[in-house]
Amino acid sequence: MSEEFVRSVLREHAEEGMPTGKDPWPAIKQSVQAAQQEHRTETLHITVVSDPRRQKVEASHIDRWKNAYPGARRFRFNMATAMVVLLALAAGTIAIITSNGLQPIAGITPSLGCWRIGPGPEVEVGDTILTALSARSADDVWAVGYSNAGGQPRTLVQRWNGQRWSTVASANVESRSNYLTGVAALAPNNVWAVGYHCTGNCDTDVAPLAQHWDGARWSMASTPGSGRLNGLAAVSANDIWAVGNNAQETLALHWDGSRWTGVPTNDPPLPSSVFILNAVTAISSNDVWAVGQEHDTAGNRYKKLIYHWDGNRWASFSETGASLGIRLYSVAATSPGDVWAVGERDNNPSTEEPLETATMHWDGANWIEVPSPNVGAGGSYLRGVEAISPTDAWALGGYGPITGTKQTLVLHWDGALWSVVPSPNVEGQSSRFFSADALSANEIWAIGTYNLAGTGTFVERYNNPCIATTPKE
């Protein structure tokens, strides 16, 4: 789309209030600039959902959201916004989302910020997965996961020093498969990572794994019992939580500054169900949230799990019919009255219906499911969330068919609605996000994985204003 075409369209709709007998373009340009300033935090995205069944689901979600929050504002597409959009299209700065996925992005305006694939960790040949991220400062970011480079899964720890990523030697239980799934960086000499190692059959025989960075090396810490840890969050150096599952029950471990101990989560006795906690966020010593899912193996159905620690005990929040089918994979909070949990809705696992994004919000009194966009006719899902303020949150995951190439998915919350934000993919690979962490509203880190021929990792970074870097091919 040429600038001349944009000018001609704008002239047709901008006669009123424009100078007579003169070229209206300068006045139009001034109006557009004013509109850009007014809407500098707004992002326009167009989502096409080609599945009529999902259109009905999204409509019902929106109705529930309106009832829950009557004051939720709507995006108003006025003339000023239209001019901004036309100019952006002319410059190639807005990507339109179609049922076929994200189209190539020519560029993104500084006012919108941008996600870019940056220099990534260089790991030995072999399948590599980074599962969790913790950003302490611009020159101290940690990412953990595992690598099959040696033929057997071993813990993998990567660190960003402001210039590059490097592998930091990490601890392992020898002669076993080892995995890291969570990390929390409290200080340059105080970082924790958790996961699990296999004690036999990795599907059933596993034990928790926790290791600590003291500024010089990683060392293993003793953990009680069996099971796997999937998430980690810290209130302070002497108040850290790790959650996961042990066989059919949820698992919660607490670090008090000297040792890890198990804390009962008081699961209801349901022999046909498997309870799993995937993530945890800690607001204070008496305000901790953990999320996951209950899998009814008899009926092959899922329900969300949400647990709260009040300083004395864990308590679960009962399921409601509106949230059936939801699995939650990540949770983040800005305050006791602003907590987000994200994941996916699996309406009928037996028929392999497309997954749908799921976002839940705690307002201090109730958990409410908030409508969130889906992309294309294939499945859409979320794996990570980062909350910065009540009007600024990010949710990341992927979308695409069950079998076929998938692409990264990024959603942004502006205080009223979730919208899709363009994000790049590793060229020629199936790409998706796992985790995100923010240093500020203008600097956010995210990690993901790609796979077609082998599995690897990539790192993306959000900057606003956009910092020009050379994307990794």
Write out residues in the chain with pLDDT < 70, as ranges: 1-113, 122-126, 269, 318-323, 349-351, 452-453, 467-473
Cα separation, 431 vs 309, in Å, equals 35
Lookup result for tokens 């707004």: 42
Residue 269 confidence (pLDDT): 66
The residues, any chain, with a CB within 8 Å of residue 132's CB and separated by 6 or more, are 143, 144, 145, 180, 181, 182, 183, 193, 231, 232, 434, 435, 447
Q: What is the dihedral of CA 191, 196, 199, 200, to 10 degrees?
A: -150
8 Å CB contact between 354 and 377: yes
Q: What is the identity of the amino acid at 163?
A: Q
How high is the pLDDT of residue 409?
96
pLDDT for 47 equals 34
Cα-Cα-Cα-Cα torsion 311, 280, 463, 116, nearest 10 degrees, comes to 170
Spatial strand order in the sheet of 260-262: 228-236, 239-246, 249-255, 260-262
Torsion 225-229-233-236 (CA) sign: positive
Output the pLDDT for position 299. 74
Cα gap 188→196, rounded to integer Å? 24
114, 224, 232, 336, 397 from 221: Cα distances, Å = 39, 10, 15, 31, 31
Global confidence as pTM: 0.76
Q: What is the Cα–Cα distance from 454 to 126, expressed in whole angstroms? A: 7
| Predicted local confidence at residue 123, as pLDDT | 67
Predicted local distance difference test score (pLDDT) of residue 221: 97
Tokens of 335: 């305050």
Q: What is the pLDDT of residue 124?
A: 61
Residue linked to tokens 């992005």: 105
Give the per-residue pLDDT at 323: 58
The CA-to-CA distance between both ends of the chain, in Å, stands at 27
Distance, in Å, from the CA atom of 374 to the CA atom of 355, rounded to the nearest integer, reads 9
Q: Which tokens hold the place of 214?
A: 């003291």
Residue found under tokens 């105080």: 190
User: Residue 310 in contact with residue 262, Cβ under 8 Å?
Assistant: no
Who's near 333: CB < 8 A, 6+ residues apart?
Answer: 281, 283, 289, 339, 340, 362, 387
Is the link from the previous residue into 153 a cis peptide, with omega within 30 of 0?
no
Q: What is the predicted pLDDT for the residue at 5?
A: 32
The DSSP bridge pattern shows strands 407-413 and 249-255 to be unpaired
